């Protein structure tokens, strides 16, 4: 029978990664975030906007941890290409379809690194005059963030190392890992 894919170490595109955040730790944090969102958005019917591709697994899990009425839509950005360092440019590959004027928007991202993508996203979303915009990110590399971003919900603060799994890829591989891994040569 099949189970979640969760080895202790993994090789992806020829590079070794080791376990960094376990499935149990992720599940515990999802419970806390879900409870917090339930309280903060009671009676507001928020719309979650996931940023593809990286946020798809976190978004699916976060949504299943809230009990309030909510909706979902997606935006697609690309800034990393297939490398481990950001290109420094944001390319919008898909904008949202939903009408968000007057709505409470929760942007859901896998990771905020320099903050460039999230800074861009928030500006774009605000052009549509939503009632409010909040940011929910699974991971935050605090030391690496130099663009102006307001993070309302953060799963885990992490050091400036390259991570993989639970939706995050390395050259499109590794998204199906159910835990989060760090590049072995980067410090933990």
Catalytic residues: 113
Q: Which of 56, 80, 156, 162 binds Mg ion (CB under 5 A)?
A: 80
When asked if residue 54 is in the footprint of Mg ion (CB under 5 A), the reply is yes
φ and ψ at residue 121, rounded to 5 degrees? -60, -45
Q: Which of 37, 62, 100, 110 binds Mg ion (CB under 5 A)?
A: 110
In the complex with Mg ion, the residue whose CB is nearer, 80 or 162, is 80
Beta carbons of 45 and 104 less than 8 angstroms apart? yes
Q: Between residue 128 and residue 167, which ones bind Mg ion under the rule CB under 5 A?
A: none
Question: Shortest gap between Cβ of 60 and Mg ion (angstroms)?
Answer: 14
Instruction: Say which entry of Mg ion, ligand 5GP, none residue 116 contacts (CB below 5 to 8 A, set by partner kind).
Output: ligand 5GP
Instruction: Say which entry of Mg ion, ligand 5GP, none residue 163 contacts (CB below 5 to 8 A, set by partner kind).
Output: ligand 5GP
Q: Which stretch binds Mg ion (CB under 5 A): 25-33, 59-67, 108-116, 130-138?
A: 108-116
**Residue 172 to residue 187: CA distance in whole angstroms:** 23
Question: Shortest gap between Cβ of 81 and Mg ion (angstroms)?
Answer: 8
Q: Which stretch binds Mg ion (CB under 5 A): 8-16, 25-33, 80-88, 89-97?
A: 80-88
What count of other Cβ atoms lies within 10 Å of the Cβ of residue 175? 17
| Residues belonging to the chain | 188
Q: How does DSSP assign 31-88, residue by residue? A: HHHHHHHHHHTTTT--EEEEEETTTHHHHHHHHTT--S--EEEEEEEE-STTSSS--S
Instruction: Say which entry of ligand 5GP, Mg ion, none residue 166 contacts (CB below 5 to 8 A, set by partner kind).
Output: none
Site of interaction with ligand 5GP (CB under 6 A): 54, 79-80, 86, 109-118, 162-164, 168-170
Beta carbons of 75 and 92 less than 8 angstroms apart? yes
What count of other Cβ atoms lies within 10 Å of the Cβ of residue 83? 9
Q: Which two tokens stand for residue 188?
A: 């933990």
């Amino acid at each position: 029978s099949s189970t979640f894919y969760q080895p202790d170490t993994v090789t992806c595109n020829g590079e070794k990664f080791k376990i960094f955040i376990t499935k149990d730790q992720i599940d515990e944090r999802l419970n806390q975030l879900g409870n917090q969102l339930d309280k903060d958005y009671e009676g507001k019917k928020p719309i979650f906007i996931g940023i593809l591709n990286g946020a798809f697994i976190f978004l699916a899990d976060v949504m299943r941890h809230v009990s309030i009425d909510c909706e979902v839509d997606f935006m697609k950005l690309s800034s990393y290409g297939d490398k481990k360092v950001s290109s420094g440019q944001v390319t919008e590959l898909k904008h949202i379809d939903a009408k968000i004027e007057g709505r409470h928007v929760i942007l859901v991202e896998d990771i905020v690194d320099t903050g460039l993508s999230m800074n861009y996203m928030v500006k774009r979303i605000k052009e549509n005059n939503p009632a409010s915009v909040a940011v929910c990110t699974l991971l935050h590399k605090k030391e690496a963030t130099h663009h102006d971003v307001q993070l309302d919900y953060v799963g885990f603060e992490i050091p400036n190392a390259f991570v993989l799994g639970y939706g995050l890829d390395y050259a499109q591989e590794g998204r199906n890992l159910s835990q989060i891994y760090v590049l072995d040569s980067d410090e933990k």
